[in-house]
């Protein structure tokens, strides 16, 4: 019983941490500029849950928290806020942008690794933190591209989503 409460509290700390990072980075002021990107990322996160609902490759371990609530919070709050902070701090020069992408991918992957080690997320069907790292690369690159070229980015997203869906079905 105590372990379940501890894990639930970790979920709460994770959610509040992302919200606080967004607040203290002042990225919330950029919502009018990046709300479309936030909706874009949320939509593809929701599509993952819809398409792969019977064959999820990762799942949050909900200990004493409703799993639907947890997925919804991550889909509608956590992931969009990560993208908002990422985009709001995007540098202007190409080299600095490259470093920004690398830094955010590494930080996100390390945080997910720690979350996995704390038993807040479960991997299945051969998924691991390295696959998540590649997914973070895709998320950050596509989020940035969506700002400049939304239609081609949507096409690329649909293609990669179909590819990932078909791949997950073969596992």
pLDDT at 2: 67
In the structure encoding, which two tokens stand for residue 5, read together?
A: 């409460």
In total, how many domains does the chain have?
A: 1
pTM of the model: 0.90
Measure the CA–CA gap between 55 and 103, rounded to whole angstroms.
31
Domain that holds residue 30: 2-170
Q: At 23, give phi and psi (nearest 5°).
A: -65, -50
Greater model confidence, 88 or 7: 88
Question: What does the alpha-carbon distance between residue 27 and residue 12 come to, in Å, rounded to a whole number?
Answer: 21
* Tokens (6 digits) for 63: 């200990």
- Mean per-residue pLDDT, 157-168: 85
Range of lowest pLDDT (14-23, 24-33, 53-62, 161-170): 161-170
> Is the pLDDT at 88 greater than 60, yes or no?
yes
Rounded distance between C-alpha atoms, residue 46 and residue 155, angstroms: 17
Tokens linked to 164: 């990932």
Question: How do residues 33-67 score in pLDDT, each as one tens digit?
Answer: 999 999 999 999 999 888 888 888 888 887 777 88
Ranges 32-41, 117-126, 131-140: which has the least confidence: 117-126
Is 160 exposed, middle or buried (CB count within 10 Å of its CB: 0-12, 13-18, 19+)?
Answer: middle
């Amino acid at each position: 019983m105590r372990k379940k409460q501890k894990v639930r509290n970790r979920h709460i700390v994770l959610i509040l941490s992302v919200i606080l990072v967004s607040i203290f980075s002042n990225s919330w002021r950029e919502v009018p500029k990046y709300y479309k990107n936030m909706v874009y990322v949320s939509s593809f996160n929701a599509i993952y849950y819809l398409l792969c609902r019977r064959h999820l490759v990762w799942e949050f371990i909900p200990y004493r928290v409703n799993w639907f609530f947890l997925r919804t919070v991550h889909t509608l709050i956590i992931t969009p806020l990560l993208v908002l902070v990422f985009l709001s701090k995007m540098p202007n020069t190409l080299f600095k942008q490259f470093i920004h992408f690398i830094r955010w991918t590494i930080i996100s992957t390390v945080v997910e690794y720690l979350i996995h080690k704390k038993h807040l997320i479960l991997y299945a069907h051969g998924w691991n933190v390295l696959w998540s790292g590649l997914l973070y690369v895709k998320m950050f690159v596509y989020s940035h591209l969506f700002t400049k070229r939304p239609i081609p980015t949507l096409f690329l997203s649909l293609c990669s989503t179909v590819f990932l869906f078909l791949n997950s079905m073969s596992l």
